[in-house]
Amino acid sequence: MSTVDNREPVSVDDATEANSAGARGPRVWLRNIAFLGPAFVAAIAYVDPGNVAANITAGARYGFLLVWVLVLANLIAMLIQYQSAKLGIVTGTSLPTLLGRRLGTRSRRAFWLQAEIVAIATDLAEVLGGAIALQLLFGLPLVVGGVIVGVVSMLLLLLQNPQQQRVFERVILGLLAIIVIGFVAGLFVNPPPAGEVLGGLIPRLQGPETVLLAASMLGATVMPHAIYVHSALVIDRFGVSKTSVRKRRLIRITRWDVVIALIIAGTVNIALLLLAATNLLGIEGTDTIEGAYDAVSNALGHGMATIFAIGLLASGLAATSVGSTAGAAIMGGLLHKRIPLFVRRVVTVIPALIVLAIGVDPTWALVVSQVVLSFGIPFALIPLGRLTGDRELMGEFVDRWPLRVAAGVSAVLIVILNLTLIGLVLTGSA
């Protein structure tokens, strides 16, 4: 009997993959394209309403100053989403489950608690954003809009199971297309000045508030729950791979999946900041989503503002479905308990409805929620780097030293930014 690595039997599928591993041509490309998808689902987390609030606020207040933050954050996101997906493919186990197996009971519960706080902050941003969009489009009260977003997201969750994973991916891809059109279209009507965009690529900050915004933009772009869920999404999509041949092929395809999906997400994020910096800078009240909508309507026309609001609604609906999926994966892996996604959706939507009911400024609540997410990043990023760098666990697929160095530097930068933010908050400077 033929064998591949560790004397595992070679199936017909494995043999086919081995024969086509080095092949090129239309059929191979089409077959590989069919495997794309999990990264696009994870990428929805990178274009949620929290991104809209953080990026519009940054552009409206500081112009092109913080473009470099988004570029850096997107590069970090590509790195860690690739690591997360590779971990799932190689081990056949999600990141939360691996952590749950390695941590003691108290540590597991503490780790779950911080991850759950991050998940709640994520839900807060997504429900608030969807509620704001419904108010802009139809004049609905924010609380009513929040309830509608929660209900629609529950319906989308009916598609989220391993048997219907591809259907769920197609729905999310459709919403992603709406998001891209909604947030990028305005740039074609009034393009930003190229010189100022290039100037925004120079790393610099201006005062404590830009540190807060940078942390918010980082938290909105590098999403902790997306790190956790990507390792689970590839397992749901591809199953557990038993041979090195199949793992190698899936890792290669996943690399393209991540790069393409996050280039799209990064383009949307940068477009939001450029839209605000070009059309909203210096205009009173445009550092809120509602103010930005009015200003876009005045500057680019009501039709363009409506497209913007539709994109915001699509981002809220898509992201809240992915967020609920991530929360379930986190709880199942760390606490070894599973609750129905519908129950989880009801529980996690309550804090957002409370915020809407008591009258907290929704845009500011969105920005603060992204800061909370930024604090959760190291808790996902550092264990991920250690696991993908563990030769005993990853075998021949262990991270090479350039990837490990890049991941380590990313983690250090994020921790430094968060510590700086804590210092500013404690001293009352932020």
Q: Is the pLDDT of residue 113 over 80?
A: yes
Q: Is the pLDDT of residue 359 over 90?
A: no
User: Does residue 394 form part of some domain?
Assistant: yes
pLDDT at 121: 80
Per-residue model confidence as pLDDT tens digits over 40-70: 888 888 888 878 878 888 898 899 999 999 9
Q: What is the mean pLDDT of residues 216-244?
A: 86
pLDDT at 27: 61
Q: Identify the burial level of 206 via C-beta atoms within 10 angstroms of its C-beta, where 0-12 means exposed, 13-18 middle and 19 or more buried.
A: exposed
Would the CA dihedral through 135, 346, 110, 355 be positive or negative?
positive
Domain count across the chain? 1
Nearest CA among 207, 224, 267 for reference residue 71 = 267
Per-residue model confidence as pLDDT tens digits over 150-208: 888 777 777 666 566 677 778 888 888 998 999 899 888 889 999 999 999 999 988 88
Residue 184 sits in which domain range? 42-426
- Tell me which long-range contacts 395-399 makes (C-beta under 8 A, separation of at least 24): 395/90, 396/5, 396/244, 397/86, 397/90, 397/247, 397/248, 397/251, 399/83
User: Does residue 198 form part of some domain?
Assistant: yes
User: Does residue 36 form part of some domain?
Assistant: no
- C-alpha angle 58-364-73 in degrees, rounded to nearest 5: 40
Written in H, E and C, the secondary structure of 22-46 is CCCCHHHHHHHHCCCCHHHHHHHHH
Among 137-141, 322-326, 403-407, the minimum mean pLDDT is found in: 322-326
pLDDT level of residue 277 (50, 70, 90 thresholds):
very high
User: Residue 119 and residue 347: Cα distance in Å, rounded?
Assistant: 12
Q: Is the pLDDT of residue 9 over 60?
A: no
pLDDT level of residue 429 (50, 70, 90 thresholds):
low
CATH of the domain at 319: 1.20.1740.10
pLDDT level of residue 141 (50, 70, 90 thresholds):
very high
Among 77-91, 182-196, 256-270, 337-351, the minimum mean pLDDT is found in: 337-351
Q: Can you give the pTM of this predicted structure?
A: 0.85
User: Does residue 31 form part of some domain?
Assistant: no
User: Does residue 9 form part of some domain?
Assistant: no
Nearest CA among 217, 260, 221 for reference residue 38 = 260
User: Between these two residues, 255 and 12, which has the higher pLDDT value?
Assistant: 255
pLDDT at 3: 36
Q: Is the pLDDT of residue 15 over 50?
A: no
User: Does residue 27 form part of some domain?
Assistant: no
Instruction: Give the length of the chain.
Output: 430
For 371, the token pair is 């800061």
φ, ψ at 59 (rounded to 5°): -70, -40
The residues, ordered by sequence, that sit 6+ positions from 212 with a Cβ below 8 Å of its Cβ are 367, 371, 421, 424, 430
pLDDT level of residue 228 (50, 70, 90 thresholds):
very high
Q: What is the mean pLDDT of residues 344-355?
A: 81
Q: What is the mean pLDDT of residues 271-278?
A: 92
User: Does residue 404 form part of some domain?
Assistant: yes
pLDDT level of residue 428 (50, 70, 90 thresholds):
low
User: Residue 166 and residue 188: Cα distance in Å, rounded?
Assistant: 32
For residue 76, the number of C-alpha atoms closer than 13 Å in the C-beta half-sphere is 31
pLDDT at 11: 40
| Beta strand ranges found along 204-284 (DSSP E) | none
Per-residue model confidence as pLDDT tens digits over 305-321: 899 999 989 988 888 87
235, containing H or E segment: helix 224-238
Q: What is the mean pLDDT of residues 352-367?
A: 81
- Mean residue pLDDT of the chain comes to 83
pLDDT at 162: 59
Per-residue model confidence as pLDDT tens digits over 283-307: 777 667 788 888 888 878 888 889 9
pLDDT at 10: 37
User: Does residue 18 form part of some domain?
Assistant: no
Nearest CA among 312, 6, 7 for reference residue 137 = 312
- Tell me which long-range contacts 386-392 makes (C-beta under 8 A, separation of at least 24): 387/87, 387/95, 387/98, 388/83, 388/86, 388/87
User: Residue 82 and residue 259: Cα distance in Å, rounded?
Assistant: 9
